[in-house]
Structure 1
Amino acid sequence: MRKLIESTFMSIDGVISSAEKWSAPYWDEEYSAYARELLFASDALLLGRETYEGFARSWPRLESVEGDYAVRMNTLPKYVASRTLTEATWNATIIKGDVPDEVAKLKQQPGQNILKFGTGELDTTLLEHRLVDEYHLWICPVVAGSGGRLLDGIDTTHLKLVKTTTFASGVVVLTYTPGDASQGR
């Protein structure tokens, strides 16, 4: 069974929106190596509509700059959860209808991990249906001050910390798996 991996940038005050505006100063060699490891351990991407549209506009132009990372981003199959998207042109399949059921089916297929980028309504759906196997939360040493926060409105959900990765830039990646408070620490 494939694992669904969530990779999300957030500020120390929990903001996830407009991460490209405040996370870019921390994109260094350690960041790139970690991101590369996640991407190359995956053979499919799961995206919401907004993330898909943003990536589809930028990644095809980045191959000359980003090399094999961009080639990998561009060639991996993408699954896009959307109620409004009618056409996908960037090597993507639109998931309409019962997103949790379709994602569960994707996870049952043979292959590597499914890497999920972006944040929003899809995160809530995936968490509520217990479909995420690992969360990689990239905490950037910045206070964003305002903006959307990861999983606002979700009921109390316990996770288990399985790994902490600290970069010289001050970024800390916290890796969690689903857990529960009754499990020993």
Structure 2
Amino acid sequence: MRKLIESTFVSLDGVIDDTTPSTASRAEPQHWGHPYWDEQHAAYSARLMAEADALLLGRVTFEAFARSWGSMDTPEAKPMNEMPKYVASRTLTEITTWNGTLIKGDVAEEVAKLKEQPGRHILKWGTGELDTTLVRHGLVDEFHFWYFPVIVGAGKHLFEGVGFDTTHLRLADVERFDSGIVVHIYVPK
């Protein structure tokens, strides 16, 4: 069975993103995380991508990544652009871009079916509404929380308002980068 790995950037105060226009310029990970993106960061990301052969994304992450990655024509962007992407959305009716496939029907059932297919890992970047379903149904096999040495002060927090029961995890590994990023790798208990 394939593993579903979730990977997300988190500030020290738990901020993952923001959609509020007044704070978005400082609360979006591409703003506060960028100073820490270096060769170690890139190598770890590349390793996660190399171990996967599919991406699972929510609509918001899919659209943002398609805008930024879809126009890149570099060796680093090639694996991301060519990899199949499965997209969960309550608002889209079809996807015709960036090698995306809309998940139709019950998301939990469809993701469980994807995990049963042969292949390498399924990688999910970002944490958002889709995680309510994934965690509630025990579908995430590993969480990679990239803690950045920054305090943002405003924004959406990790798993804020998701509404699932308390979920206990076990620390499986820790990766430390010279930039100060620490990736905590957790698995379900």
TM-score by length of 2: 0.90
* Unaligned residue ranges in structure 2 (runs of 5+): 18-27
- Quick one: distance in 1 between partners of 2:116 and 2:155? 35
Note the C-alpha offset of 1:107.
0.2
- Structure 2: distance between partners of 1:87 and 1:20: 27
* Residues in 2 aligned to 1:123 and 1:95: alpha-carbon distance in whole angstroms: 15
Aligned twin of 1:60: 70
Partner of 1:160: 170
Deviations 1:66-124 (A, max 9, x none): x1x31000000000000111231111110133100000000000000000012210112
Indicate yes or no: 2:128 matched with 1:105.
no
1:23 paired with 2:33, answer yes
* Matching residue within 148, 155, 178 for 2:188: 178
Q: SS in structure 2 opposite 1:144?
A: coil
| Paired position in structure 2 for 1:142 | 150
1:86 aligns to 2:86 (yes or no): no
Letter in 1 for 2:99: N
Three-state SS of the structure 1 residue aligned to 2:140 is coil
Give 1:35's match in structure 2, choosing from 39, 45, 48.
45
The corresponding residue for 2:79 is: 72
Aligned to 1:14: 14
**Separation of aligned partners in 2, 1:61 and 1:138:** 26
- Contact 1:41/1:113 (CA < 8 Å) preserved in 2? yes
TM-score if structure 1 supplies the norm length? Answer: 0.92
Structure with bigger helix share is 1
Paired position in structure 2 for 1:128? 136
SS at match of 2:111: helix
CA distance in 2, matches of 1:81, 1:91: 14
Q: Which consecutive aligned stretches of 4+ in structure 1 deviate over 3 angstroms post-superposition?
A: none
